[in-house]
Structure 1
Amino acid sequence: MNVNLAERAHNHNWNLDPIVRSLLDTDFYKLLMLQFIWKNFPRVHVTSETTNRTVSVRLADHVPLSALREQMEYVRRLRFRKSELIWLAGNTFYGTRTIFEPAFLDWLEHDFRLSDYELTEQDGQIVLRFSGVWTEVTMWEIYGLALLSEMKTRAALSQLSELELDVLYARAKTRLWDKIEKLRQVPQVRISEFGTRRRHSFLWQEYVVTAMRAGIGESLSGTSNTYLAYKHDLEAMGTNAHELPMVMAALSNSDKELHQSQYQVLELWQKSYGGELLILLPDTFGTTQFLQGAPDWVADWTGQRCDSKDPFVAGDEYIAWLMSRGRDARRKRFIASDGLDVDEILSLQSYFEGRIRFSAGWGTLLTNDFRGCHPRGEHDLEPISLVCKIVAVEGRPAVKLSDNAHKATGPADEIARYRRVFQSVAVEGAAVVV
């Protein structure tokens, strides 16, 4: 990919470089989840909201609301292209060619719309709030986060001269190459690029993905960005996220239903998908309690993704649980995806090699690692922790407990109730960086 990133950044043109340029410019799991929601919960109403967990960075001081609204409206006008729908219908994903139903693709073409939104400023932070039918709200998550992240980037880039931009990207490319060189020494490692939501920019993410493919070859399993997978003939990677059990839990009418909801959502999921798409994400209400209470059939799923617990601890716990259920862990997959960088990825690979099929979902510190690259020594291009979570379902509050109390979301009284029902202890894990 031969793009002059410094020149492009210096001469940004919204028509040439909209931040989100296709509805496929999202994580692949959002499309899988959208089909699941369309099939099982077509009339459920939800509300989601963005949060900047890096409160020291006042986004509203850097990003004009009018410019953000312009980008939001551009995204709302986008529609799935014929060529994109043909690719979704005919491509093989995780070894399966019929992963998306014809009726769903027809709905995407003719009826899919994004919900309306509220754009406000609160205490120096920009808050995006989306309310409506779940099928119209869910896709905003990645679009909204990518917009906020890149608008922060563009605000910082606008302060630099073209020479300074050259220096910035030269340093960032050197840092990326240093990471690639380390990975080349361990060809058995498997990495999926997971960096869409907090990327530096679309163009930089595309540069990173193409550089990774050239640099580490088959060690790059693919990308979670569906548009980049489509454009560059890569595997589209991703399964499911916390949003599903959060909504299922909020719809429960008793404590017993609440506790069982974390397994009921898996029963529904496996009616739609199989094989490598049967990846557990057990930390929504606490991994340990999830595994302890899981029905035996859950152990037949293909693997587990760890998103908030120390991955060394979580992997050992999963392996021990599989052994207690009479399953061979060496045939299962363990995916770490929480704030990883190259050294931890390689340490995890070494630790789990021969015990379980380890792979890494590498996100922000792959597609937005400009730490120490600023030509003036400033920090305004360093990544921040932006999230977009479900906050209400049919008027009821939604809760996520997580394995790291720093990542818990929801009203304090509901968090306390969920901890009681799930017997999930609040553990203060590592500080959330990205």
Structure 2
Amino acid sequence: MADIATRVYNHNWKIDPIIRSLIDTDFYKLLMCQSVFRNKPDTRVEFSLINRTKSIRLAELVDEGELREQLDHIRSLSLSRGESTWLRGNTFYGKRQMFRPDFMEWFENLRLPPYELSVRDGQYELSFEGAWPEVMLWEIPALSVLMELRSKAVLRDMGRFELQVLYARAMTKLWEKVERLRAIDTLRLADFGTRRRHSFLWQDWCVQAMTEGLGDKFAGTSNCLIAMRREVEAIGTNAHELPMVYSALADTDAELADAPYRVLADWHEEHDGNLRIILPDTYGTKVFLDRAPDWLTSWTGIRIDSGDPAEGAERAIAWWRARGEDPTEKLVIFSDGLDVEKIETLSAQFAGRVRVSFGWGTLLTNDFRGLVPDDGLAPFSLVCKAVRANDRPTVKLSDNPNKAMGPAAEIERYKRVFGLGAQTAQPVVV
């Protein structure tokens, strides 16, 4: 197990580059990338960094030269033979050869495309443009780099013993959470914390702690590199990116209304009926379920990623019942702003009513709240989203209007097309 404090104190990024591999990314990105590679390979997209926490002025904390050095390092990476063998030959979700030979051949020869970086009003403007299958793989490493460089900036002047104490306190804080979670008999929980982690070494430590502390209750990690090295399950399905881009490509209102279902039809075909988890909130969960075709009711479950989580789960249960399905055989995955208290509450509320799983993100891999002066390591909300597709803007409405994104006129059009009514704003935790 790495001595994290010593590694941080030594500041040797040649030993500890922030991104160590092209598979130091979330599993769902590779699954989505294969689907895009097959169905929309020529689509041109632009991804941009969006800092929702304006009070964190990243360009004043993170040195631009250091940021460029890390981003350039990522562009030099390619799959190793061992990584390729793992992706080609491993069993994921009970399926051998999840990744097709043509996709793997492309991925083995991939280098990530160029980036554009500038500074405006104390914030970095970081964007990536090009073919969708290539550009989409920038999202997770870009976020991980900026989050870790911010951590390094705060820790840079700390002494060796100060760092040792800091990480000891952080480890204790996490272990106390693990001890509470052990008491939940039906718990099934996975690490979803790559994109806004404190650091790679810390996420790796968290996965090891969860593996030992929770045993079979720990389902695995979204991080492919850690899953490979620690021999745990790689966890993930799909994300908002797919319906956002498909919707931007729609030529008519009718095609726009159908786009979220077209995504899932392509997904079903891509994975031969595996990985059948619905993410319904891109343009409003209620509208999505009300209009959903009957073939979606047989899918395995739903991921709740915005809005009130209990309300979203209740809505899913009511939908399954109305469509003649047994909710106790379905899966609800909670994945938005989770911490121990919310996991305990939701587990108790839905025990016996539906199968429940949790994708625990930032407050697993980056909960250093209260551990340094002025709370300088508190996590914040940083995202990297597809903002354009074939020169058209993308839109996300979400079940939480505080997470909506896109030009105002397009947001209003999408609200009209999807029939989105009044919404209740929720705090964006991370």
Shared fold, TM over 0.5: yes
Q: Are 1:25 and 1:228, in contact at CA under 8 Å, matched by a contact in 2?
A: yes
Structure-to-structure mapping, 1:313-324, within 5 angstroms: 313-324=311-322
Q: Which letter does structure 1 place at the counterpart of 2:405? A: T
Question: How far is the alpha carbon of 1:353 from its aligned partner?
Answer: 1.1
Tell me how far apart the structure 1 counterparts of residues 416 and 36 of structure 2 sit (CA, whole Å).
Answer: 28
Tell me how far apart the structure 2 counterparts of residues 192 and 274 of structure 1 sit (CA, whole Å).
Answer: 24
Deviations 1:363-401 (A, max 9, x none): 000000001112xx3211110100011111110110000
- 1:66 corresponds to 2:65: yes
Instruction: Identify the match of residue 306 of structure 2 among 305, 308, 323.
Output: 308
Structure 1 pair 134/80, CA: closer, same or farther in 2 (3 Å)? same
Instruction: Identify the match of residue 408 of structure 1 among 400, 404, 409.
Output: 404
Instruction: Identify the match of residue 227 of structure 1 among 215, 225, 228.
Output: 225
Tell me how far apart the structure 1 counterparts of residues 12 and 185 of structure 2 sit (CA, whole Å).
Answer: 40
- Map of 1:83 onto structure 2: 82
Deviations 1:275-317 (A, max 9, x none): 5511000000000000000000011111000100211110110
Q: Are 2:77 and 2:111, in contact at CA under 8 Å, matched by a contact in 1?
A: no
- Map of 1:133 onto structure 2: 131
- Map of 2:96 onto structure 1: 97
Structure-to-structure mapping, 1:180-191, within 5 angstroms: 180-191=178-189
Tell me how far apart the structure 2 counterparts of residues 89 and 320 of structure 1 sit (CA, whole Å).
Answer: 40
Question: How far is the alpha carbon of 1:227 from its aligned partner?
Answer: 0.4
- Map of 2:145 onto structure 1: 147
Q: Are 1:405 and 1:426, in contact at CA under 8 Å, matched by a contact in 2?
A: no
Q: Which letter does structure 2 place at the counterpart of 1:401? A: L
Tell me how far apart the structure 2 counterparts of residues 426 and 65 of structure 1 sit (CA, whole Å).
Answer: 42
Tell me how far apart the structure 1 counterparts of residues 395 and 321 of structure 2 sit (CA, whole Å).
Answer: 31
- Map of 2:416 onto structure 1: 420
- Map of 1:109 onto structure 2: 108
Q: Are 1:189 and 1:346, in contact at CA under 8 Å, matched by a contact in 2?
A: no
Question: How far is the alpha carbon of 1:274 from its aligned partner?
Answer: 4.5
Q: Are 1:305 and 1:336, in contact at CA under 8 Å, matched by a contact in 2?
A: yes
Structure-to-structure mapping, 1:161-240, within 5 angstroms: 161-240=159-238
Question: How far is the alpha carbon of 1:428 from its aligned partner?
Answer: 3.6
Structure-to-structure mapping, 1:4-43, within 5 angstroms: 4-43=3-42
* Displacement over 4 Å in runs of 4+: none
Partner of 1:174: helix, strand, or coil?
helix
- Map of 2:329 onto structure 1: 331
Deviations 1:32-71 (A, max 9, x none): 0110010001111000101111101101111011110110
Q: Are 2:268 and 2:274, in contact at CA under 8 Å, matched by a contact in 1?
A: no
Structure 1 pair 426/12, CA: closer, same or farther in 2 (3 Å)? farther
Instruction: Identify the match of residue 286 of structure 1 among 284, 287, 299.
Output: 284
Tell me how far apart the structure 1 counterparts of residues 67 and 421 of structure 2 sit (CA, whole Å).
Answer: 39
Tell me how far apart the structure 1 counterparts of residues 289 and 17 of structure 2 sit (CA, whole Å).
Answer: 43
Structure 2 runs not aligned, ≥5 long: none
Tell me how far apart the structure 2 counterparts of residues 415 and 59 of structure 1 sit (CA, whole Å).
Answer: 28
Tell me how far apart the structure 2 counterparts of residues 275 and 151 of structure 1 sit (CA, whole Å).
Answer: 40
- Map of 1:381 onto structure 2: 377
Deviations 1:89-115 (A, max 9, x none): 1111011112111111111112x2312
Partner of 1:305: helix, strand, or coil?
strand
Tell me the number of residue pairs that the alignment of Structure 1 and Structure 2 aligns.
Answer: 430
Deviations 1:257-285 (A, max 9, x none): 10011111111100011555110000000
Tell me how far apart the structure 2 counterparts of residues 428 and 316 of structure 1 sit (CA, whole Å).
Answer: 16
Deviations 1:387-424 (A, max 9, x none): 01111111011000000000001001100110011011
- Map of 2:54 onto structure 1: 55
Q: Are 1:149 and 1:199, in contact at CA under 8 Å, matched by a contact in 2?
A: yes
Tell me how far apart the structure 2 counterparts of residues 262 and 330 of structure 1 sit (CA, whole Å).
Answer: 26
Identity score, percent: 52
Tell me how far apart the structure 1 counterparts of residues 185 and 73 of structure 2 sit (CA, whole Å).
Answer: 41
Q: Which letter does structure 2 place at the counterpart of 1:79? A: S
Q: Which letter does structure 1 place at the counterpart of 2:155? A: L
Partner of 2:399: helix, strand, or coil?
coil
- Map of 2:258 onto structure 1: 260
Q: Which letter does structure 1 place at the counterpart of 2:9? A: H
Q: Which letter does structure 2 place at the counterpart of 1:416? A: E
